[in-house]
Amino acid sequence: DTGVSQDPRHKITKRGQNVTFRCDPISEHNRLYWYRQTLGQGPEFLTYFQNEAQLEKSRLLSDRFSAERPKGSFSTLEIQRTEQGDSAMYLCASSPLGSASTDTQYFGPGTRLTVL
């Protein structure tokens, strides 16, 4: 049983460039979440999907950010015109739906983004 995977693990980019991250959740997990974590802080919620539907977006998710989960399996998070303030760890998590265990989220290793 594989866990949540994220790719790439590290990304260094120049200000103004676009970047895209991928998350593969645990198979058959209906819910998929994206969080952002800056140094010394706890993760902050960005958005979540139930199957392919994006059901909530945080105010942190500016117009430059877009997330998709086209077939209800993997998800991508794209940041356009990156800014230095986007430098952070981007964490993906998944959880099943329809049981008491839905409250537990399983996290991937994260993608660390550095914007120069």
- Note the residues at the interface with other proteins (CB under 8 A): 4, 31, 33, 35, 40-45, 48, 50, 55-56, 89, 91, 93, 95, 102-110, 112
Q: Please, which residue, 13 or 58, has the CB nearer to other proteins? A: 58
Other Cβ atoms within 10 Å of 103 Cβ, number:
7
Amino acid at the residue 71: K
Q: Please, which residue, 82 or 95, has the CB nearer to other proteins? A: 95
CB of 26 to other proteins, least distance (A): 13
State the alpha helices, DSSP H only, in 1-116: none
Dihedral class, residue 67 (left if φ above 0, else alpha if ψ from -120 to 50, else beta): beta
Q: Please, which residue, 57 or 80, has the CB nearer to other proteins? A: 57
